[in-house]
Amino acid sequence: MTIMHHPSATTLAAFASGTLDEARAVVVATHLSLCEACRGAVSGFEHLGGALLDATPPAQMSPGAMERTLERAMAASAGAEPAARHLVEAGLPAPIANYALGSWRRIGRGVQWRSVDVASDDAVRVFMLKAAPGTRLPRHRHTGTEWTCVFEGAFRHDLGRFGPGDFDEADENDEHNPVVEAGVPCICLVALQGGIQLQSWLGRLVQPLIRI
């Protein structure tokens, strides 16, 4: 797959520094699981973090901190901890499979919705959407950020075509009129930010389901 749309550098940096909220981080991680170039960029930002760490002035540690930590270390054997492994549901990007998923529910003509149980402290909700080929989604304006990662099928709007792996980082200034391509359904992961009075078509559709 050729990925045309990537998260912004600021977003990749925020992910690397661990300051992105979990809801948005899941969508970014989904893109990363499909995009080697952005994994490289995140690694670059982690090296930036390392360089800044090296240049940081040291703080005073409590007396005997090193000896106590070494004692705890000796109680375990070095290098003993195996790398973590994660089970992945077939056909799903690994970052999503990490969360409890609801079942698919029809929420409108040609559109299905599936909840993704992500803890979030910033009124951001995460869900999957599946839209039938040719579905024309009503024109909508974002009231908060709406980040989307496609993993099957494709849609188009005025900023281009968004196929598997593509990342759409829309904010409140964007107005879109997406159309799902012919062929296969478009399945994507969405992190939608919004309060009680969601204005967008998507907000109205999902509001009863997620009880924002």
Residues that bind other proteins (CB under 8 A): 8-10, 12-14, 17-19, 22, 25-26, 29, 32-33, 36-37, 39-54, 56-62, 65-66, 68-70, 72-74, 76-81, 83-84, 86, 94-95, 98-99, 117, 119, 121
Instruction: Say which DSSP state 126 is in.
Output: E
Instruction: Say which DSSP state 189 is in.
Output: E
How far apart are CB 184 and other proteins at their closest, in Å?
25
Q: Which is nearer to other proteins, 109 or 211 (CB)?
A: 211
58/80 Cα distance (integer angstroms): 29
26/31 Cα distance (integer angstroms): 9
Q: Which is nearer to other proteins, 132 or 212 (CB)?
A: 212
Closest by Cα among 71, 18, 15 to 42: 15
How far apart are CB 141 and other proteins at their closest, in Å?
21
How far apart are CB 178 and other proteins at their closest, in Å?
25
Q: Which is nearer to other proteins, 123 or 132 (CB)?
A: 123
CA distance readout (Å), 189 to 74, 168, 177: 44, 10, 18
Which residues does residue 101 pair with via DSSP β-bridges, in sequence order? 116
Q: Which is nearer to other proteins, 91 or 197 (CB)?
A: 91
How far apart are CB 198 and other proteins at their closest, in Å?
23
Q: Which is nearer to other proteins, 32 or 188 (CB)?
A: 32
Going along the chain, which residue ranges are E strands?
A: 105-108, 111-115, 124-131, 140-141, 146-152, 155-157, 160-162, 167-170, 175-176, 179-180, 186-193
Instruction: Classify strands 186-193 and 124-131 as parallel, antiparallel or unpaired.
Output: antiparallel
How far apart are CB 152 and other proteins at their closest, in Å?
19
How far apart are CB 92 and other proteins at their closest, in Å?
12
Q: Which is nearer to other proteins, 4 or 66 (CB)?
A: 66
